[in-house]
């Protein structure tokens, strides 16, 4: 079971650690379908292997852990229908839920950029480590999608309206902000990660992992996010995106103007679905239920065309001028939102269930 550097993900044992290294550094380690399968298989093997006491996830290269899902592959598959996208998202979300239920410590080194699908692989882990280089985000509304991979669940459990703000604007979390939003647990300087991995690989019991990590923990550098909590809660408490925009306009501060400009770049349809999905996730009993709803929304955003237009404009043609449909918030009716949330036909639905 030796690692092969030509693989998209390097899976190997190092002492008592099962190690997963995302290995597409030229694509910021964006998560492909074969990587989803390889990671799930490795985790299943290590679950049964008494020699493995801890799993460590990290990324090759110096940019970050993972930029997101390989949305370009989904874009290029779409001319043949939604089959590949459905398979990709269903198996990715199943992996996200499995990570949350994993019976051994799952340690994610969230160094550098960690977005979208990268959050799905790390944010549900038992030990989430950030560094001075970490930039975490759920940026999907920019590409006509909703924050998926359990993003609506994580955002729903961030304090106050922080998650609504992060999910709608796609704003990046750094330093202390990652922990304030409850997307990370521990700050460790990036230069100490190799030493931490070596120490973890010597853990003879899963129960030793927390204490090992604590030895490397330092106070995180301050960030802007918590300092804006009051403005965030005041502007993002409303039930409609229109009311949130009005509140930002009335604030007339530098922060409010920047936030408004961010929102206005994003898909009106994705914004309304994201607001409803995060609020809805607060009422759900489990991550699995949130993933099942996310699947309805992502599949329908693909078939509607919004997601393809977003990927085209931001990642393929790179003209940064998506033609959103509808083009304005006013065009997105409550009926349209309700239609997106309605259950898929039983044979097409993702039906993940929380363990009882
Ligand atoms: C929103 C997103 C993604 C994004 C940009 C957004 C996303 C994603 C990537 C990405 C980035 C670099 C790559 C790549 C994909 O960008 O999900 O293959 O090399 O994966 O604004 O949701």
Query: How far apart are the CA of 252 and the centre of ligand 1, in A?
Result: 31
**β-strands 9-14, 17-22: how paired?**
antiparallel
Matching residue, tokens 């501060």? 253
Please choose, from the candidates 93, 18, 3, the residue with its C-alpha nearest in 3D space to the C-alpha of residue 48: 18
Q: Verify whether residue 148 is a known catalytic residue.
A: yes
Residues 6+ apart with CB under 8 A from 81: none
CATH 3.90.226.10 fits domain 5-341 = yes
Residues with beta carbon inside 6 Å of ligand 1? 27-28, 30, 67-72, 116, 139-140, 142-143, 314-315
Instruction: Report the nearest atom of ligand 1 relative to the CA of 140.
Output: 22
DSSP 205-247: SGGGHHHHHHHH--PPPP-HHHHTHHHHHHHTTSSSHHHHHHH
Residue 2 confidence (pLDDT): 45
Residue 180 confidence (pLDDT): 98
Query: How far apart are the CA of 182 and the centre of ligand 1, in A?
Result: 22
Contact 157/255 with Cβ under 8 angstroms?
Answer: no
* E strand or H helix at 334: helix 334-341
Active-site residue, from 112, 116, 117, 151 = 117
Residue 356 confidence (pLDDT): 86
Distance, in Å, from the CA atom of 128 to the CA atom of 121, rounded to the nearest integer, reads 10
Q: Which residues pair with 107 in a beta bridge?
A: 56, 127
Of the CA atoms within 13 Å of residue 25, those in its CB half-sphere come to: 11
Block means of pLDDT (10 residues each) for the chain, length 356 residues? 71 98 98 98 98 98 98 95 97 98 98 98 98 98 98 98 98 98 98 98 98 98 94 98 98 96 98 98 98 98 98 98 98 98 98 95
Tell me which DSSP letter residue 78 carries. G
DSSP 93-120: HHHHHHHHH-SS-EEEEE-BEEETHHHH
Distance, in Å, from the CA atom of 344 to the CA atom of 240, rounded to the nearest integer, reads 25
Distance, in Å, from the CA atom of 151 to the CA atom of 115, rounded to the nearest integer, reads 10
């Amino acid at each position: 079971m030796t690692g092969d550097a030509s693989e998209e993900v390097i899976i190997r044992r190092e002492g008592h650690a099962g190690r997963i290294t995302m290995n597409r550094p030229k694509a910021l380690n964006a998560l492909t379908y074969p990587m989803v399968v390889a990671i799930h298989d490795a985790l299943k093997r290590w679950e049964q292997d008494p020699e493995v006491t801890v799993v460590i996830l990290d990324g090759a290269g110096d940019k970050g852990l993972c930029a997101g899902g390989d949305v370009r592959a989904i874009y290029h598959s779409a001319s043949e229908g939604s089959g590949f996208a459905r398979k990709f998202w269903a198996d990715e979300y199943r992996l996200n839920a499995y990570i949350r239920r994993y019976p051994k410590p799952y340690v994610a080194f969230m160094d550098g950029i960690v977005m979208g699908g990268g959050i799905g692989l790390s944010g549900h882990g038992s030990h989430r480590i950030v560094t001075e280089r970490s930039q975490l985000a759920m940026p999907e509304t920019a590409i006509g999608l909703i924050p998926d991979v359990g993003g609506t669940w994580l955002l729903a459990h961030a304090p106050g309206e922080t998650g609504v703000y992060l999910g709608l604007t796609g704003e990046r979390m750094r330093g202390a902000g990652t922990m304030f939003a409850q997307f990370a647990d521990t700050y460790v300087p990036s230069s100490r990660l190799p030493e931490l991995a070596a120490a973890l690989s010597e853990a003879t019991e899963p129960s030793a992992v927390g204490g090992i990590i604590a030895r490397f923990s330092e106070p995180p550098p301050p960030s802007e996010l918590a300092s804006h909590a009051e403005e965030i809660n005041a502007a993002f408490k409303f039930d409609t995106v229109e009311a949130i925009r009005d509140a930002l306009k009335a604030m007339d501060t530098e922060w409010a103007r920047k936030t408004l400009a961010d929102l206005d770049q994003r898909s009106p349809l994705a914004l309304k679905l994201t607001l409803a999905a995060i609020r809805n996730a607060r009422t759900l009993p489990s991550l699995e239920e949130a993933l099942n709803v996310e699947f309805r929304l992502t599949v329908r955003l693909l078939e509607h065309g919004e997601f393809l237009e977003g990927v085209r404009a931001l990642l393929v043609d790179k003209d940064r001028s998506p033609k959103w449909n509808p083009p304005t918030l006013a065009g997105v009716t409550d009926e349209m939102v309700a239609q997106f949330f309605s259950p898929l036909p039983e044979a097409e639905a993702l039906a993940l269930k929380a363990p009882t």
